[in-house]
């Protein structure tokens, strides 16, 4: 088997100083936003008296939604790291938010889906996100068009980073 290096544009010796500063600012902002999102979910749970699952587990429920998936599928989609997925899925099964079943074909594989309790939690997170979207739009924080542009830009960054992982330059 031979590996071919993808054809790329020549790389300049240094990035434009403004671009580099903006890139580093974006990286820092992405980290802070993720941590802040977890804190927002945690505060909502405390307000609702939900103490048996954490914000990461709530996001896992939200992202699984109506699907029936394996831990491997969640990892391969890039949503979660391996050991964290297994731990959090086990906790969600133990607390009754998820149902698990061994695959008939491959007994090592376990498929999971939300229980009624898990769907209720997912609905609570969806309601929180809906309130946020309405609030941001209502206060003029961001428009649909601006959010769409942010998402397109972040997807391009995601594709670039994915390519960096897949190909050795």
For residue 21, tell me if it sits in a domain: no
Q: Which domain holds residue 131?
A: 53-138
pLDDT digits (tens, 9 = 90+) for 39-72: 999 999 999 999 999 999 999 999 899 988 887 7
For residue 79, the model assigns a pLDDT of 63
For residue 164, tell me if it sits in a domain: no
pLDDT digits (tens, 9 = 90+) for 20-34: 999 999 999 999 999
Count Cβ atoms within 10 A of the Cβ of residue 74 and give its class: 0-12 exposed, 13-18 middle, 19 or more buried. Answer: buried
For residue 41, the model assigns a pLDDT of 96
Q: What CATH number should be reported for the domain holding residue 102?
A: 1.10.10.10
For residue 6, the model assigns a pLDDT of 55
For residue 8, tell me if it sits in a domain: no
Count of structural domains within the chain: 1
> Exposure pattern of 85-116 as b/e (b: 16+ CB <10 Å)?
beebbebbbeeebbbeeeeeeeeeebbbbbbe
Would you say residue 8 has pLDDT above 60? no
Would you say residue 142 has pLDDT above 80? yes
CA distances from 99 to 57, 72, 119, 162 (A): 14, 16, 11, 32
What is the token pair recorded at 101? 């079943």
For residue 60, tell me if it sits in a domain: yes
Which distant-in-sequence residues (6+ apart) come within 8 Å of 62 by Cβ? 122, 125, 126, 129
Q: Which of 57, 64, 28 is nearest to 42 (CA)?
A: 57
pTM: 0.79
Q: Which of 123, 113, 105, 117 is nearest to 73 (CA)?
A: 113
For residue 85, tell me if it sits in a domain: yes
For residue 19, tell me if it sits in a domain: no
For residue 167, tell me if it sits in a domain: no
For residue 1, tell me if it sits in a domain: no
Comparison of pLDDT for 4 and 136, the residue scoring more:
136
Would you say residue 12 has pLDDT above 70? no
């Amino acid at each position: 088997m031979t590996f071919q290096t993808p054809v790329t544009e020549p790389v300049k010796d240094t990035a434009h100083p403004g671009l580099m500063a903006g890139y580093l600012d974006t990286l820092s902002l992405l980290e802070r936003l993720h941590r802040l999102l977890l804190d927002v979910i945690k505060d909502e749970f405390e307000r609702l008296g939900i103490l048996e699952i954490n914000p990461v587990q709530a996001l896992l429920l939200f992202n699984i939604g109506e699907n029936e998936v394996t831990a491997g599928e969640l990892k391969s989609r890039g949503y979660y790291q391996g050991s964290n997925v297994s731990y959090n899925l086990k906790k969600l099964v133990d607390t009754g938010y998820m149902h698990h079943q061994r695959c008939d074909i491959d007994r090592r594989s376990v498929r999971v889906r939300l229980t009624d309790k898990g769907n209720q939690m997912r609905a609570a997170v969806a309601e929180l996100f809906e309130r946020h979207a309405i609030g941001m739009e209502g206060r003029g924080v961001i428009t649909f068009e601006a959010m769409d542009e942010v998402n397109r830009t972040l997807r391009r960054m995601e594709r670039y980073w994915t390519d960096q992982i897949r190909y050795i330059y």
